Amino acid sequence: MSASRARSKKSTKKKRRFIELDDLCSMRLPGSPALSPDGTLCVVTLQRCDEEKNKYFTDLYLVDTGSGDARAITQGDYNDSQPLWSPDGSSLAYVSSRGESAQIYLMPIGIGDSRKMTGLGQGAIHLQEWSPDGTKLLFIYRPVPEEDTKEAAEERKKTNKSGPTRVIESSIYRMDGQGFVSPTPPHLYCLDMVTGEVEQLTKGKQYVDSAAWSPDGKSIAYTSTKDVEYKPYDERIEIIPAKGGKSRTVDASTGPKGSLMWTPDGKQILYLGYECEDDAWGTYNSHVWAVNAKGKGEARDVMPGLDQTCSPFTLCDTQGAPGTRPFHLTPDGKAVDVLVATQGAVHVVRCPLGGGKRRTLLGGHVHTYGHSAEVDGKLIVASQTPTQPGYVQLVPTKKGARSKILWNPNAELVGELDVQEPEERWVECEETGRKVQGWVLTPPGFSKNKKYPMILKIHGGPHTQYGAGFFHEFQWLASKGYVILFTNPVGSQGRGEEYLQGLRRKWGAADFPELMAFVDALLEEGYVDEKRMGVAGGSYGGFMTNWVVGNTGRFAAACSQRCVSNLVSFAGNSDFPMRPDAYFPGNAWSEPEGLWEMSPMRFMDKVRTPLLILHSEGDLRCNIEQSEQVFTALRMLRRKVKFVRFPREASHGLSRGGPPDLRKIRLEAIADWFEEHLSKPRRKRKRRASG
């Protein structure tokens, strides 16, 4: 090629732009892939943002698995979710928020409009499974408290009455993102898809969260928790005749059990869970287990050699709905396909039920958060990467065959953006003797010969993981000239149970040296300005941000979000109670010493780092009083601190699914704070805090 032709070709190449704040609302997020019984079509949910209405809406799309052509089969200012194909593939059941309350709808594929099948009161609906003959549908339903219905609110308004008075008799009475929950627990129901009649199958105080039909349609298995307040991990499997009658309990190990499924021969019931007799807090590996449906013999872990958990734990701020099931049986019933958290990624792994070698169907540095069952030698997954916010893939199950992107609703948008690929790092911490995984995201146009401000990001959970998820926030901050460092210190997922449990009863103390070791290693690379370093995190990341600034003065600015600061008070005001002497030592009333020892509040007098605090008044997971304590203490100590309080419309998950306008305000507050404190080198302080 001549030099003139090369210049001509180069000049026509479209220049990519930096990612912008508004791009957060331009992304369309696919999820919940469900493959038709004949394998020719796949239905997926697609979440979109309507900035004018300040809401998110979810439509259903039908994707041709051969051509990749996608078309919307529902559209409107509501949310359609949980698509389930009928056994013969002629219709689709789903839940829709259109109308006064969420209901179950039935859509004949290609021959008619959707039909509303239920007339339930306001509440939460979770679809479970069609009956084998396609005439009935199992679902779990929990009504909202009667005083919180729209009708009750309108009646109070008409009569000038005050808000409702609540009589609380259980510590499980509210849930983040939902508000107050009904004293009526979630129960199992059966919908006749021909007549529209609804039958309630379970009653009483038991909590039901999973159900499945036997292959012959004669029995129904469901999970039941009798004492959700004091023994939430003691979940039982019950079986009832489909025609009605007394239930019987299947003998299985104590521990959580979800996503029930019968094997095709009807001899075994599979579930996702682990064996546990205490408050685990996510430090045990969730695996697929099998138990004899007749209750003979012990339950067994079908993947005992896998030292990783089976859940899509990778964090991100742009993800569609997860899959309707965490695992699926293969067509021959001899193996399960399951999502496995693996060192920052989530893979699709095939595990034989009878033992044998596991096989990774989809690996790499990819976060897969939803997958379908296999049909005709293929399955469909919803995935993302650090540079792609969400796409639909076809994954062949034949060995050696390659997966392909079937539909990418964000292809045009991402094609415009100059997004950066994070670089993986492994750093050994001398103090703990552990190797720590992390990633470095550099700004566009990065040069190792320049000095950059850096922001250390600390993830929440704490038992989750950073990695292959797409973060608009990280990319946006990098576009402003920051190096972003994010890591998976001890306690993170993807590294096995020992690594997970290394943080138990050691919050702050175990992971702080590993975070600092990573910072030191990055400084040795020479392009980070030591005088312009920031630290930020939310939830447990907020806890650790508080801990960091209370134990070192190395950072020029910090941002603590939806934090935990005082485990003594946190024990009594979260939406789930802290059980005495379980995950944490002692209790909040007679043995608070261990909780206080792990509380960043005890370091507030040592904080010299300017601190921005972000918290939502609607946060029921980490109550806003946790941030109020930090703010008040630092004000009384005359330290540099700013408190941004978000209204009740935002819950704990503001950064991921809060109202669009508040998400933007949050990002702008973070960017403005770090611009103020990291744009120029700070003066060297005479005194540094130590812990």
Q: How big is the CA angle at 644 (ends 50 and 611), to the nearest 5 degrees? A: 130
22 φ, ψ (degrees, to nearest 5): -70, -20
Mean predicted confidence (pLDDT) in 675-689? 69
Quote the pTM value. Answer: 0.95
Closest of 67, 71, 76, 75 to residue 43, by C-alpha: 71
* Dist CA 566 CA 465 (whole Å): 24
**pLDDT of 349 over the 80 cut:** yes
The CA-CA-CA angle for residues 176, 30, 257, to 5°, reads 50
**All structural domains of the chain with their residue ranges:** 421-463+470-489+512-568+599-678
Q: How far apart are the first and last CA of the chain?
A: 64
Is the pLDDT confidence value at 53 over 50?
Answer: yes
- Kindly indicate the confidence band of residue 250, based on its pLDDT and cuts at 50, 70 and 90: very high
Find out whether 495 and 503 touch, Cβ atoms under 8 Å.
no
Q: Degrees (nearest 5) of the Cα angle 306, 428, 525?
A: 130
How far apart (Å, rounded) are the C-alpha atoms in residues 558 and 535? 5
Q: Say how many CA atoms lie within 13 Å of 170 toward its Cβ.
A: 16
Question: What proportion of the chain, given as a percentage, has pLDDT over 90?
Answer: 91
pLDDT tens digits along 88-136: 999 999 999 998 899 999 999 977 789 999 999 999 999 999 999 999 9
Q: How confident is the model at residue 11 (pLDDT cuts 50, 70, 90)?
A: very low
Residue 213 scores a pLDDT above 90: yes
* pLDDT over 70 (residue 254): yes
Residue 170 identity: S
pLDDT digits (tens, 9 = 90+) for 265-288: 999 999 999 998 877 688 999 999
- Measured CA to CA, the distance from residue 80 to residue 160 in angstroms comes to 35
- Single out the residue of 473, 459, 485 nearest to residue 555, CA to CA: 485
Distance of CA 545 to the CA centre of its chain: 21
Q: Are 580 and 647 in contact (CB under 8 A)?
A: no
| Cβ-based burial of 216 (10 A; exposed 0-12, middle 13-18, buried ≥19) | exposed
Q: If you count them, how many residues does the chain have?
A: 691
Mean pLDDT over residues 12-34, rounded? 93
Neighbours of 197 (CB within 10 A): 12
Which pLDDT tens digit goes with each residue over 149-204? 999 999 999 999 999 999 999 999 999 999 999 999 999 999 999 999 999 999 99
Can you list the positions of beta strands (E) in 511-630? Answer: 528-538, 557-561, 611-616
Instruction: Check residue 8 and give its pLDDT.
Output: 40
pLDDT of residue 689 exceeding 50, the answer is no
**110 vs 124: CA distance, rounded Å:** 29
Predicted confidence at residue 295, as pLDDT, reads: 77
Other Cβ atoms closer than 10 A to 207: 21
CA–CA separation, 223 and 269 (whole Å): 11
Q: How far apart are CA 20 and CA 108, in angstroms?
A: 41
Q: What is d(CA 224, CA 257) in angstroms, rounded to the nearest whole number?
A: 9
CA dist 537 and 460 (Å) reads 7
Mean pLDDT of the chain: 94
Residue pointed to by tokens 């369309």? 28
Q: 270, exposed or middle or buried, with CB in 10 Å at 0-12, 13-18, 19+?
A: buried
Judged against a pLDDT cut of 50, whether residue 2 lies above it is answered with no
Which helix H or strand E contains 4, and what residues bound it?
A: helix 3-11
Q: What is the average per-residue pLDDT within 674-691?
A: 67
pLDDT of residue 277: 83
Which residues, 6+ apart, have CB-to-CB distance to 151 below 8 Å?
A: none
Please report the DSSP string for 409-461 in residue order. TTHHHHHHB-----EEEEEEETTTTEEEEEEEEPPTT--TTS-EEEEEEE-SS
Q: How many angstroms separate the CA atoms of 568 and 129, rounded? A: 43
| pLDDT, tens digit (0-9, with 9 covering 90-100), for 506-547 | 999 999 999 999 999 999 999 999 999 999 999 999 999 999
pLDDT band at 684 (very low <50, low <70, confident <90, very high): low
| Residue 14 pLDDT | 76
Q: CA 338, 341, 345: angle at the middle one, nearest 5?
A: 115
Quick: pLDDT tens for 354-385: 988 999 999 999 999 999 999 999 999 999 99
The Cα–Cα gap between 332 and 330 comes to 5
DSSP character string of 593-626: HHHHHT-GGGGGGG--S-EEEEEETT-SSS-THH
Q: Per-residue confidence at 13, pLDDT binned at 50, 70, 90? A: low
Residue 363: name the closest of 403, 325, 326 by CA.
403
Q: Which helix (H) or strand (E) holds 342?
A: strand 335-342
d(Cα 1, Cα 10) in Å, to the nearest integer? 12
**H-run or E-run covering 292:** strand 287-292
Q: Output the pLDDT for position 174.
A: 95
- Per-residue model confidence (pLDDT) at position 122: 96
Is pLDDT of 467 > 70? yes
Q: What whole-number distance in Å separates Cα of residue 343 and Cα of residue 356? A: 23
Query: Cα–Cα distance between 223 and 225 in angstroms, integer?
Result: 7
- As given in the structure block, the two tokens for residue 284 are 């045990």
Residue type, 372: S
With 90 as the cut, is the pLDDT of residue 681 above it? Answer: no
635: which 2 tokens?
């004000």
Contacts of 76 (CB under 8 A, 6+ apart): 57, 59, 98
- Of the candidates 330, 315, 369, which has an alpha carbon nearest to the alpha carbon of residue 32? 369
pLDDT category of residue 683 using cuts at 50, 70 and 90: low
The predicted pLDDT at position 682 comes to 63
Q: How many other C-beta atoms can be found within 10 angstroms of the C-beta atom of residue 250?
A: 20
CATH 3.40.50.1820 fits 421-463+470-489+512-568+599-678, yes or no: yes
Residue 615 pLDDT greater than 80, yes or no: yes
Which residue has tokens 């009605």? 244
**Residue 3 reports pLDDT greater than 50:** no
Residue 9 has pLDDT above 90, yes or no: no
List, as own/partner pairs, every contact residues 55-64 make where C-beta atoms lie below 8 angstroms and the sequence separation is at least 24, other chains included: 55/659, 55/660, 56/657, 56/660, 58/321, 60/92, 60/94, 61/30, 61/407, 62/109, 63/380, 63/392, 63/406, 63/407, 64/40
DSSP classification of residue 106: E
Residues 663, 644 contacting (CB under 8 angstroms): no
Would you state the pLDDT for residue 297? 76
Percent above pLDDT 70 for the chain: 96
